[in-house]
Amino acid sequence: MAGVEIQPMAPMLPMVPPFVGMPAMPRTPEQHLFASLSKLPKEKDTEKSMNEAAEMLNNAALALKRRRCLVAVDEVPGFVRTVYTLLNVCDPEIISWSDDGTKIVIKSSDRFAREICPKFFRHRNFNSFTRLLNMYQFHKVPSSRRESKDVCFEHPHFQRGREDLLPLVQRKGAQLMREELVARELLEHSALGAVAALESALQPLHPHHEAPACAADSNGWMHRMSDLEAQVRVLKAENDRLKQLEAERDALKHQLKSQADLIAALQAQSTVFGALNSLAARHRDDSVAEVTDDDSKGDDAPNNADINEMIHQMSGVGAMAVMFGVLGNQPDLPALPAADDHPEPEPSPKRQKTC
Amino acid sequence: MAGVEIQPMAPMLPMVPPFVGMPAMPRTPEQHLFASLSKLPKEKDTEKSMNEAAEMLNNAALALKRRRCLVAVDEVPGFVRTVYTLLNVCDPEIISWSDDGTKIVIKSSDRFAREICPKFFRHRNFNSFTRLLNMYQFHKVPSSRRESKDVCFEHPHFQRGREDLLPLVQRKGAQLMREELVARELLEHSALGAVAALESALQPLHPHHEAPACAADSNGWMHRMSDLEAQVRVLKAENDRLKQLEAERDALKHQLKSQADLIAALQAQSTVFGALNSLAARHRDDSVAEVTDDDSKGDDAPNNADINEMIHQMSGVGAMAVMFGVLGNQPDLPALPAADDHPEPEPSPKRQKTC
Amino acid sequence: MAGVEIQPMAPMLPMVPPFVGMPAMPRTPEQHLFASLSKLPKEKDTEKSMNEAAEMLNNAALALKRRRCLVAVDEVPGFVRTVYTLLNVCDPEIISWSDDGTKIVIKSSDRFAREICPKFFRHRNFNSFTRLLNMYQFHKVPSSRRESKDVCFEHPHFQRGREDLLPLVQRKGAQLMREELVARELLEHSALGAVAALESALQPLHPHHEAPACAADSNGWMHRMSDLEAQVRVLKAENDRLKQLEAERDALKHQLKSQADLIAALQAQSTVFGALNSLAARHRDDSVAEVTDDDSKGDDAPNNADINEMIHQMSGVGAMAVMFGVLGNQPDLPALPAADDHPEPEPSPKRQKTC
DNA sequence: GTCGTTCTAGAATATTCGGAA
DNA sequence: TTTCCGAATATTCTAGAACGA
């Protein structure tokens, strides 16, 4: 049973035009007009004033383009057409016109969701259907009887047998166009309507009809503006944070340099000591034995008079103190004595380099 | 065939994001907030409208305060209790707990609306039930199987057998006060921030009366735009400057690496020298004493005491070996517990500066 | 083979989170805070100023609401999760990971559209799938062989076995939200942040009345706006790149500190050795010459000449002490070119890592 | 005032088509 | 040409708002 693989989507709507997620189609002559209009100024950008004019014209064209629904006024939105078809096609026990032909009556929302929805839409939720009805300005009508499960929706321009009114059922977003639609209703039998619409569209400064469109544009810009400002805010915060990297980098560089100096000094020291000690080592073989003996019996007895003598002869205890004082500047050597097991010091591989 | 009704396009529902745990309900800061709120308008009672605004805000604050006290009572809301009971009472074929007891599963929304709703509520609409669930912060969760028509809801504190958590399931309006506390925790420190913000928010009340014509607003926009552009310019300059940090960082890294090599070499050297020199270590006790005396008279370095202490503690080859062992050990730079464990954390940076 | 077809869906999507048409969930504390704030004045809107205040506060709430995805920043978008699951579940002959696990390879777009799409999405068009991939910043990768029909997509954070990276695969529009989250993290420690957030939230409250006359004025603005947006985009990208400098800086600092500790230890060692060896110094005058010879043949350090000169002049412990003093003081030796010019870089990285 | 019920709208994602770079 | 984006519509879940008890 799982292998049946019914596909309720594609083949089930042979005659209903597709409408789902379909973008508007700016193919009307008006669109072409303004497309050409928008290209017009580009032909002559030699003059600054002409540039500005071009900009304005271009903008007008863009604004009109954005209001595509205007030119689509003659078209029936896919969803509306689908619902209208639905009412002629489907089981009247599920969905039907009301008696007076002004309302949609869904007698069984369950069955509608289960049986109708997947055939005409991409879902099987009655709520999605009602959401779209609301989007297209349908309104729910309370049932006459309270206990009835029927669900009724109506739209002033959605009536049985009045297919001519269907273009007036428009989505909410296209709401602003409705006044113009009303105007067009008056002139709907002549091309004058289109001309009027074009005129009004071409005169964006006209106070009456143009205001709503302007509002829409402004709102869009406001969004962009807000986004921009937010982004700039974020960027500033980030940059503030990043700017301290510079200071820290300088500190790091300074430290690095100091350490380099120290290393150089240590290297020199080690080199000298290495050389010195390698020579001294050969003279010390006997003393090593002595030390070992002494060590075996006790550490506390410093009875090597010779060495003490040498120490006393050092060019001065003061020099020693100076040395320690200077070096003591590098202070802490914190827990150096704190020690744990010390592994065998590995033979230094790089020692020969310093030698 | 029609009965099979595979639904390959069943809706994929959103994932419910992790819920924010409810705070314990500290009340003091809240009172501060509202105290400041109520005081806010009073600061400017030169204006009549502001006085009225003050009154209103104050009233609102008081009302909310009262409401909060009501909410503070740990009672299980009626709806929550009803749903909890419902799950124990009703046909599991209609509504039941999920297997893990964290979710409500309505297996048949139709039957639920028809049979359950009228028994427990005053309606027979599944949507009304879901509306209330949402109101109480339940969230819909996707059912595991796509073809399933089950509807699942969950609430972090609504679990099977956890009747003790039910008081935490609160209506949106009430919940709000507690989450406000969370918000205030984020913006904590004082209500000063909020107050300042609110002041700044209420500030434009005065000049903004009625007349904001297009020109004025456009000017405002222009100002904002100019500001934005200036900010972007500044940010770009800053970023350009910051970008060179990358190169410098690489240089630093290279230097650091080289120094690490040097240090390693020096370390190895020192270890060897330590072994060689350790033989002579025991002869030093008296000289150390002298050094200490000298040091006492001219003490320029702060850490001489430490060094002297170390020297004092050096009693022979054994101690030396220990010390060198520690130093030679340092395999890992990060390890270096001697430095890190130093009681006061701040000296090490200072030391690096003094170097 | 096609005959298998046993319940391909039920076990396949046990936990694929739903993603279709998911509304955001405005449950952040901030949102509730401002929601409640916005409700404050609404309880009495007799005064016009109060109405405006209400509007403003409400707008603040709405602005915050718009940033809802902020809280969802840690979550894996439904589509991303679905695609990830898809790759683990579906026939590798249709869709699979590339060999290195960094790319998606669709071997048969036809079969994908026919067999996979309807199971996971609400359509059966391969183009819709690619549209969504693009929306989530996946990019098509040209196939290695021109004749290959394979279609490859990749995303820097979409890799096999790296489920942890999936939250970084975000929809295009949600990108700025993530950065706002960063900003919030930065600002959430101070009341200043709160003020900034509130102010920014209150910024977009103008958009109501500036409808008219915007058409002409906004022409130039649109260009400026576009430029601004482009600049901000660039800046954001740059900042993203720069932000990683912070982490690297911290690593450098840590290394530097460790090295400083090591140097200090080595210095102490050398100091002690200096003291110790100074006892034997007088016995080695001849050895100095030897050291000089050695140095002449292998000169790694730039300052060895100077040091050798000093060594030549060393006549006893006093000279040693002077040397130590100078070296220990080390003022500003120019930056250790020996380290920079170090020829072999490879041993050190390994060592630092092991450290 | 609070809660429940109902209808509608908001907001985010998904799907489609055309078009731009 | 290919690849990717814009924009309109669709779907889903949640929230707003009005009204009544």
pLDDT digits (tens, 9 = 90+) for B253-263: 777 777 777 77
Three-class secondary structure assignment of A92-108: CCCEEECCCCCEEEECC
Q: What is the pLDDT of residues C167-189, one digit of tens each?
A: 889 898 664 444 444 444 333 33
The interface pTM score, or ipTM, of the predicted complex is: 0.48
**C259 pLDDT exceeds 50?**
yes
For chain B, the C-alpha Rg in angstroms (whole number) is 36
CA of A70 to C1' of E8 (A): 13
Q: How much of chain A is in helix, strand and coil states, percent to nearest 5?
A: 60, 5, 35
Our measurement of CA B49 to C1' D8, in angstroms, reads: 34
Q: Give the side-chain half-sphere CA count within 13 A for C246.
A: 12
Higher pLDDT, C261 or A20: C261
Q: Between residues C45 and A270, which one has the greater pLDDT?
A: A270
Q: Which among C348, C350, C353 is the top mutation candidate for probing chain B, defined by the most B β-carbons within 10 Å of its own β-carbon?
A: C348
d(CA A92, CA A74): 29
Nearest protein residue, CA measured to C1' of E21: B122
The answer to whether domain B29-189 has CATH 3.30.950.10 is no
- In this complex, the residue of C180, C291, C324 whose CB is nearest that of residue A323 is C324
- Tokens at B245, concatenated: 């940090």
What is the mean pLDDT of the segment spanning B188-192? 36
**How far apart are alpha carbons B125 and B79 in whole angstroms?**
15
Token representation of residue A213: 């469109």
Q: Tell me if B294 and A321 make a contact (CB, 8 A cut-off).
A: yes
**Would you state the pLDDT for residue C234?**
66
Nearest to C75 among B8, B17, B348 (CB): B17
Residues 174-193 of B with CB under 7 A from strand D: 174
Residues of C in contact with A279 (CB under 8 A): 284, 286-287, 290
Q: Distance (Å) from CA C167 to C1' D8?
A: 34
- Strand E within 7 A of A24 CB: yes
Q: What is the pLDDT of residues B117-154, one digit of tens each?
A: 999 999 999 999 999 999 999 999 987 666 678 999 99
Q: How far is it, in rounded angstroms, from Cα B240 to Cα B237?
A: 5
**Whether C298 CB is under 7 Å from strand E:** no
Q: pLDDT band at B237, cuts 50/70/90?
A: confident
Distance CA C104, CA C130 (A): 12
Q: What is the DSSP letter of C151?
A: E
Please provide the average confidence, as pLDDT, over all residues in chain B: 60
Q: Quick one: pLDDT at residue A7?
A: 40
Written as six digits, the tokens of A332 are: 């802490």
Largest CA distance in chain C: 105
Residues of C in contact with B180 (CB under 8 A): 29, 32-33, 36
Q: Kindly determine whether residue A308 and residue B327, on different chains, have CB atoms separated by under 8 Å.
A: no
Select the residue of A230, A239, A272 nearest C291 (Cβ to Cβ): A272
Per DSSP, helices labelled H in B24-171 are: 28-39, 48-72, 78-89, 109-111, 117-120, 126-135
The answer to whether A255 and A262 are in contact (CB under 8 A) is no
Return the axis-axis angle of helices C285-297 and C304-313, rounded to nearest 10°. Answer: 170
Position B6 scores a pLDDT of: 40
- Spatial distance between the Cα atoms of A218 and A336, rounded to a whole number of angstroms: 70
For B282, which of A2, A263, A295 is closest by C-beta distance?
Answer: A295
The nearest alpha carbon in chain B to A148 belongs to B124
Q: Give B-chain residues touching A282 at CB under 8 angstroms.
A: none
Q: What is the mean pLDDT of each run of 10 residues along chain A (355 residues)?
A: 41 40 41 38 43 52 44 75 96 96 95 96 96 97 79 96 92 57 40 40 40 41 60 69 70 76 71 60 52 44 47 42 39 37 42 38
Which residues on adjacent β-strands are paired with residue B103?
B154
| Distance from CA(B47) to C1'(E6), angstroms, rounded | 49
For residue C300, pLDDT over 50 is answered with no
Interface-testing mutation among A253, A272, A353, with chain C (most C C-beta atoms within 10 A): A272
Residue C206: pLDDT band (50, 70, 90) is: very low
Contact A324 C271 (CB under 8 A): yes
Highest mean pLDDT, choosing among A213-222, B314-323, C41-50, C265-274: C265-274
Q: Is the CB of C131 under 7 A from strand E?
A: yes
Please give the helix or strand (H or E) that residue B141 lies within, else none: strand B139-141
Q: Which nucleotides of D are covered by protein (CB under 7 A)?
A: 1-19
**Cβ within 8 Å, pair C5-A7:** no
Give alpha helix (H) positions in chain C. Answer: 29-39, 48-66, 78-89, 109-111, 117-120, 126-135, 175-187, 191-202, 214-281, 285-297, 304-313, 317-329, 337-340, 347-354
Q: Is the pLDDT of residue C86 over 50?
A: yes
Name residues 163-192 of chain C with a Cβ under 7 Å from nucleic strand D.
Answer: 171, 173-174
**Residue ranges of domains in chain C:** 29-189, 263-341
Beta-carbon separation of C211 and A211 below 8 A: yes
From the list A207, A241, A329, the residue facing C212 with the nearest CB is: A207
More confident residue, C192 or A81: A81
List the structure tokens of B114.
Answer: 């028809």
Q: Average pLDDT of B103-115?
A: 95
Q: How far is B59 from chain A (nearest CA, A)?
A: 32
Mean pLDDT of B215-227: 51
